[in-house]
Amino acid sequence: MAGKGGATPATYSPSPTTNRKKKPPIFKEDWVRPDGRGFHQCRPAFFRTGAVNAASGSAYAEFGNTKVIVSVFGPRESKKAMMYSDIGRLNCNVSFTTFATPIRGQGSDHKEYCAMLHKALEGAIILETFPKTTVDVFALVLESSGSDLPVVISCASLALADAGIMMYDIVASVSVSCFNKNLVIDPILEEEIGQDGSLMITCMPSRYEITQLTVTGEWSTTKINEGMQLCLDACAKLAKIMRSCLKEVASDSQE
């Protein structure tokens, strides 16, 4: 056996030599973000549909170093144990690869992401169009580099569109981090670690409706409003990118 028999020995990742403590970055006027972005600038977004051939619909998304792949199966027969339902069911699952985080195996305890993804998509899908059946949405985070859940939600809505599930609108999601009194949009992992609070918005940009709003930490009302506006503007831009991705696929198939 290449692997060690019996119990796995205790291992640890070699850490850097520098003994400086990992203090969260104190926000200063001349502070620059680690990747050189402006405070209100998102990471470059890349989307591609049809990433998994075996699925009814699928999509792959990259936001900087955050990489996500989502598959949609169905509408298909619900499990026998489930009771009759006039409307369709939505089933979501989010998991991380063991190598997604810098330290191996640390990314697997985001149990709440499944429920949050479900709530985010439920409001946008027309469930009446597939009664008695279930649509399964499975997401896998290949690399985690901050703001994972918004990327998963945006990618999942693209995968649903690829599968031909009827929706009111595309769902786009963006988050901001709060440092003292300053807002930073689309935070990366280093920024998320030291944040005072975060705000995530999932919305349908064309209808200007929010399907999910999550706030953590302490926020004043004016700051929440400012953060929301920031996110909504970013979601509108993101939705344009997503629509152009779908249009590309449609025009390709026509040729």
Site stretch for other proteins (CB under 8 A), options 35-43, 101-109, 117-125, 193-201: 101-109
Pairing of β 66-77 and β 133-143:
antiparallel
According to CB under 8 A, which one of 47, 63, 73, 113 is a site residue for other proteins? Answer: 73
Nearer of residues 2 and 86 to other proteins, judged by Cβ: 2
Q: Does 198 bind other proteins (CB under 8 A)?
A: no
Q: Is residue 111 part of the contact set for other proteins (CB under 8 A)?
A: no
Name the token pair of 22: 């990992």
Site string for other proteins, 149-188 (x = CB under 8 A): ----------------------------------------
- Contact between 7 and other proteins per CB under 8 A: no
Identify any residues that bridge with 6 across adjacent strands, giving them in sequence order. Answer: none
Q: Are 245 and 47 in contact (CB under 8 A)?
A: yes
CA end-to-end distance (rounded Å), the chain: 52
From CA 3, how far away is CA 238, in angstroms rounded?
45
* Residue with token string 């298909």: 76
* Spatial distance between the Cα atoms of 20 and 239, rounded to a whole number of angstroms: 41
Q: Token pair for residue 116?
A: 């949050």
Question: Quick check: 78 binds other proteins (CB under 8 A)?
Answer: no
90 binds other proteins (CB under 8 A): no
Binding region for other proteins (CB under 8 A): 1-4, 8-18, 51-55, 58, 65, 69-71, 73, 76, 93, 95, 97-102, 104, 136, 138-140, 142-143
